[in-house]
Amino acid sequence: MAGVTKVNGYVHEDQFYGRELMIINIAGMPAAPSADPEGRVKWPELDEATQAIETRVTVSAVGAFTTGDTEVNMIIEGHDYSDKAAVLTELSTLTGYTVTEVAL
């Protein structure tokens, strides 16, 4: 993918290496706990799952969740998702939860 970059007043062409995006759903986690007194929901299982996923891909965004949720969506980026089934299986193994692709 070609692009034009302006840095310090100079304009030049760059070659960017593409990263593929995938939206995934992680299901089967213990329910998200109640909010703390300041209104924040801290979900340690989600934190652990996110850290495990980040050993293989970049997590760009985590979807909204509330107290009692047992699943959440994420947008991930990686080098190559040509074998999506293998990626999803690996992420499921890493997290211990069911990981599926969310179709757009």
Q: Which residue has the tokens 């759903």?
A: 25
Q: What is the mean pLDDT of the chain?
A: 86
Strand duo 2-7 + 20-27: pairing: unpaired
Each residue of 12-61: pLDDT tens digit? 555 556 678 999 999 999 999 998 899 888 899 999 999 999 999 999 99
Domains and CATH numbers, the chain: 18-101 (3.30.70)
Residue 13 near residue 3 (C-beta atoms within 8 A) = yes
Question: What pLDDT score does 29 carry?
Answer: 96
User: What is the CB neighbour count within 10 angstroms for residue 99?
Assistant: 23
d(CA 93, CA 95): 6
Phi (first) and psi of residue 97, to 5 degrees: -120, 170
pTM for the full model? 0.78
Residues 91, 7: Cα–Cα separation, whole Å? 37
Banded model confidence at residue 80, pLDDT cuts 50, 70, 90:
confident
For residues 75 and 20, what is the distance between their CA atoms, to the nearest angstrom? 10
